[in-house]
Each structure stands twice: as structure tokens, then as C-alpha cells.
Structure 1
Amino acid sequence: MFHLDTYGTLVAATLVLLLGGKCVTSIPLLRKYTIPAPVAGGLLVALLLLALKKFANWEISFDMSLKDPLMLAFFATIGLNANLARLRAGGRALMVFLFVVLACCWCRTPLASAWRKYWVWIR
């Protein structure tokens, strides 16, 4: 078991971000589907850590005190590379998808409430 403190975790996160950026710039499929660098690097490192744990019985733990601020920064900036030209290029299919998502968001609470009442009735 190997534990990284706060600074080690920040250094590891920075290296994962740089690795993800390198993957996105060098793999055309990731660039075509605009996969963010943190996602690409994180997936690669997660697979590496899984392999280390399963095959070498070697585990790395990270300090989680900065998890919430870093997740907030990630999700706040994830859409910064979106632009109006790409939205227009999506055309009709993107508009249909947008309305389906909005309908799901609008119906989420009533459906959850109805499901809760139904679930209580089943029990």
C-alpha cells in the first residue's frame, strides 16, 4: 500500500492531466469525439492502477481532501471548449437530443415521486 499526501496527489493529478492531453493530441479518435484530457488521462491511469492491484497486489491511495474543489473545477470547466459553430453543426439531431434531455429534466421529479409512491405500495 502506497499513500500519496496532498502535494503528491496534486502532482499525480497534474501528470494525469498532461498525459491525457498528450493522448488527446496524438489519438485522432479522442480528438474527433472531443474527449477531455482529464477523462482520457484518468481512464488510462485508472486502468493502470487496476492492473497493478490485480496482478501485482500493489495499491496506491490518494489524499481526498482536495476532491470536492477539484471536481467542482473540472465540471465547471468541462464545457469551455464547446462553441456555437459545433452546436449548429449538430443540426436537427442535436436539437431533438436537447429537447429530450430537457423533457427528462422536467419530468424527473414527478416521475421519481410517482415511482416512490408505487414502490411503497408494492412493499
Structure 2
Amino acid sequence: MSEASLPEQVRVTEAAAALIEQLRAQHGPLLFHQSGGCCDGSSPMCYPQDDFIVGDRDVRLGEVAGAPFYMSPSQYEYWKHTQLTLDVVPGQGGMFSLENGSGRRFHIRSRLFSDAEADALKAAGRI
């Protein structure tokens, strides 16, 4: 199976893509990091690319609206069998995330990969 035909590990809704574009216009290039962190739990966090140092072991799941999306290794072990969808819901964003104060927050929805999708990702060395 070619890389292009593998299922996406992370996707983005139109609403989230629109908010990403607004934040990019204000802050420049962005990135997302999904940690198992303490302060904001396991919320997807949006940062200016130059303000966040990605760890050597962090896993890049893909891109959402042109912004790379990373996950901590411990979170990845828990979530690697799921396809994540970055969405936006009403609420307060993460304390350090760029959407904070907008009245909206990024939110992750997930679904388990089918057996065929998981097998394809395993064969490609992705999970």
C-alpha cells in the first residue's frame, strides 16, 4: 500500500481549519501538540512553530490545515490505534494554546482504525 493510500492518523474539520487560518494570520506558522500534560490535561494545544520545541521522541501524526500535529510518545502508545479528528467546540481554550480567549477550543474526536486500516499502518511501520 502506498503512503498516499494509508489512512490519515489525524484529520481536521472545516470549523477547526477556519480557526487555524485565523490564528495563522495573527501568529504566523503554527503547530499542534497533543500531550498527556498536567495543566490542560490531554487537550490539543496550538502554538507558534517557533515557540514550541518538539521533543526528539514526539511522534508526528501528520498535518492539519498545513500545521504539523505531534503527540508525546506516551500518548501515542495509547492513541495509535485511532484516527484523530481535530475539531472546535465552544469553550475556553487551553491555558497556553493560541485559541484561548476566543470562546472556542480545539477538541479531539477519535475512532478506532478498522482491522484493514490498522494492518496497512502496521505494514508501513506507522503503528
Over alpha carbons, which structure has the higher Rg? 1
Name the structure with the higher strand share. Answer: 2
TM-score by length of 1: 0.24
Name the structure with the higher helix share. Answer: 1
TM-score by length of 2: 0.24
